[in-house]
Each structure stands twice: as structure tokens, then as C-alpha cells.
Structure 1
């Protein structure tokens, strides 16, 4: 697999050399923007309107932690004028790709534009950052500002329009932020415990007042064992937590182990529903937008834990 991946990287280098120095590559004259995650694609659409062509490499149900660039992805990346990715090691398997491609075009890790004091780190390792910044809307507002900045630099003739669009989108983000705070506050305080397969919701927990526990670490590449399951089962039982949650981009196997372990201990726990963590819903649905995904998660959590 490693040899195949390196071959793909080398192929990309050849493609990029051919494209270096080219004008915007869209036949329509529009700037072509490629993003890794769909959350970014949706944000670009809201800021840019119809002035760019944008697509995401990672669709519904795709786990960015384990994602590797295919030959089709390399073609999309080589044809793009600008590439926006999350960064903070979310797309851990694509580091070499980004390093190679950045020699010929803008490749921007947007999460790194979030204020440093708002970035969470792993306990005991200040150099390991939590990449899931989109679960704090105030963080995502800063990402939106970065998207506006990048687009305005590339297409200064539309700078005022991008600014207007960004301000309108940020107003909607602030409305959703208020909604989330109000809804989460309606859950009894002792029940504000969010248990999921991997530790993707710490920003959400910090921002909206929930204790968050994940069976795996920040990356789904992390291993979990019997002790991890037993620890979570103990918490659920001791605090009488009624529900745990599966994630759209991760196998239910790990959470099912927690549910079964709780049952064996005499504590009934249900699957509260499916949350969107690293991926959004299908394109064309409400959950296929950042705001729709966020609202879905809030509503699912509240209805299951109240």
C-alpha cells in the first residue's frame, strides 16, 4: 500500500509541474477551489456564491483520519487553483501530498487560522492538537474569515461581494450558536455527558457545557481495548447516563461494545442516534450543510439525554 501511495504522490508531482504557472483552470474562468472536508466546501459556497467552482474530496461517511488520496483525487488537486484543508493533522495520511502540491499553488490549512488559545491539545502533549475545530461555532467563524481572506486575495475584483456574503453567513452561524447554547442548557446538568466512538466533540463540550468521552482518541487510527470499554461502562452506570451515540463516519462496533458491557453490568443504555462528526450528511440534504449538520447533532443529543 505504501508503494502505491508514493507512486501516486510522484504522479501528482508530474501533473503539478505541467500545471505550474497556469491561469485559473476552469473553462468558465471561475476560480477552482478543492477542499478536503465537506464542512469547508459548504463554507466556501456560502462566501463565494457563484464566483468559484468548489468541490470536496471527502463525501458523506468518509473518515478523514484514515483517508488516502486516490488517483482521482490527485487529478482534482492538480486542476485546482486553490486547495483548502483543515490541518492540525486531521488529514493525517495526506501530509506528503500537501507538501508536494504546495510548491505550485496555494494550499491553506484553515484550522490553523483559529486563535491559538482556542485550540485544544491532548493532555500531556501540548504539541498534539485537536483538529475538530468545526464543533465550536466561534472557531468556525474564524475559519470563515480565513476563507474570505483567501478568496479575496485570489479574486480581488469580488472582494466586497465576498465580504458581504461572509457577514451574512456569520450572522447565521451566530444564530446557530445561540440555539445550541439554549438547547444544551435544557438537558439536566448531571446528564450532560456525551459518549461517542472517538474523541471528536471536545470543542463542542467546552463551548456548550458538556462533558465529552470518546472510546478512541482524537484519531480513529487510535486503538481501544477492554479497559477503555470498562471505564466508559463504569461512568455510564455510576452516573445513570441513558444514551451513547454512533458516528456517521465510524463503525458502530466500538459503541456496541459499550452498550453490551453496560447491559452485562445491569445498566440499560440505548443508542441515542447517529451524529455527524468528521463527515456531514448527503449533498442536497439539510445535514449536508454545516449549519444543518450542527443542528441535527444538537437536536439528537438533546432529545436523547433530556
Structure 2
């Protein structure tokens, strides 16, 4: 197997991983185990040495709003990635894990491939291209209603095709009438994250392309990034749901404090906007908007953490943060 991408190694070092099943979570909590860290299972953690296993990284790539995040959530069986009708909601890669029989899939939901308009877009595009370059298999997503898909190299602005094998995945099949479906190539896959059509075929196709390798993660693990990462993402997702027009694109989230050990879990977070006028809109009259945003975000965090959460949410102005390199670095959007 080739080198593991740096962002996956960084996530592995982070150590905070989620369990797949709610029953498993409740067992861990009742046994006083930390709800985020791996614990031993009955029997061997991994297949025996006699069993040939496959493991590798798969990037979900494509233009904005083609269903990458929705597909990731459907594949791993948990809401990990931001989902929004608004495009460009994914800014950082989200790594989700699925272990099925003798195969471990390491999925990376990457930002949509776009033409940059400002510095944050440059970071998002560079992140997406790096994920494509690092992957062992590329799942190139394109809506079935917009068949045929252009070449990935053209969409990504690459001088030559990527080195990894590419599987073209036509998404959102549930919105296309059966009578109006195009005849895709035998090597292509048609899926719907809503109806789950084609997901088993997709996994089988991926599995045949992954290299023989030991598993890199405990089979029960669901994600690699720390819980505070998902807390920030879910707060941003709530901003996309509660705020209108272009305002969500001016919102960033920073977790100031994430305190566990007692219930409720205490999270202090700051929403940054670019202008004072935006701050007033986010807070809303009598604080109604920020309260609704906080309630929506808290419910999402509690669903993943499986604990009660006290979310202490604040709004501050960070002028032109989307166009300012030091601000982007501070907020976790690496610029190099």
C-alpha cells in the first residue's frame, strides 16, 4: 500500500474517534469508558493474519453540490459531514471510516472543485486537489440528471489525469425518472444516498480497487477527527440552515473550549463574521437568531456525542477573514 496521506496521519494522531452503533455507545458510557476513544471488543480487533484484507483511501471528488457529503453520511451510517442545499459548504476534508467484512474504506469528503474568488476559495481548491493526489481510488461524483460527466482533469484544471484509478459515480438517481435515465458505461456507478440505490455496487467496485493491506483503524471506528472539529462543523451547518442568502459564507467557527468529564459537556464557541452589520443579523432581534442557531447546533452535537451539551455561543467580527491569510490560519484553514 502507498503512503498514507498526511491529513489522514494527522487525524490518526488526534485519537478522538466515534463508535459506529448507538448500542455500542451506550455500552461504553455505562461502562464508564470515554465515549470518544477506542476500547477493546470481545475477540480479536482485526481479522486473523490468515485473512486477506483490503484497506485504502478513497476521495469523494467533484464540483460543489454534487452530493459528496450526503453520500459520505449514507456510507458510514452517521451524520458527519455538513449537508446543505447551498453549494461550497464543505471547507475542510472530513474523513469517515467504514469497515465491512474484509475491507476497510477510508473516505475523504473533499471541498467542491471551484474557480476561486478569494483566499478561502484558494485554500478549499488546494485542499481538494491534495485529496485527489493523495487518494488510492478517486470516486468522481456527478449528478445523473446532468449526464454525461466531463473529464475530472478538466473539472479540476489538471494538466494530466490523476495517477489513481477513477470511478465515475452518478449521484442523485432518485430525482431522475427511470424512463429518462441515460445508459451509463458499465464501469460507471449510479447511486442515490436517499434511497441507497447502488451503494452496495459502489462499495464492491471500490473494494476491488483497494490494495491488499492490514486495517489502519479499529473496525468499530467511524471517524478520525476530534469531536471539537465536528462541533465546529455542526455549528457552521446550523448557520447555513438558519441564515439566508450569502451570509453563511461569511461565517467561520472557532472552538475556544471543549470541556468533558461531567455532563453536560461544556463547549464555548465563537462565530466570526466579517462586518458589524452581519453580527447584528446573526444575533437577531432579542437574540432570537443566535438562540435558534445554537439549539440546532447543540442537537446535532448531542446526536453524535450521545451526551448532553451546554453550548456557549458568541459572535465576533473578524474583518475580511476570508481574504486574510493570518486569519485563515488561525481558523484552521491552512494556506500552504
Give me the TM-score of the superposition, normalised by structure 2. 0.30
Give me the TM-score of the superposition, normalised by structure 1. 0.32
The structure that is helix-richer by fraction is 1
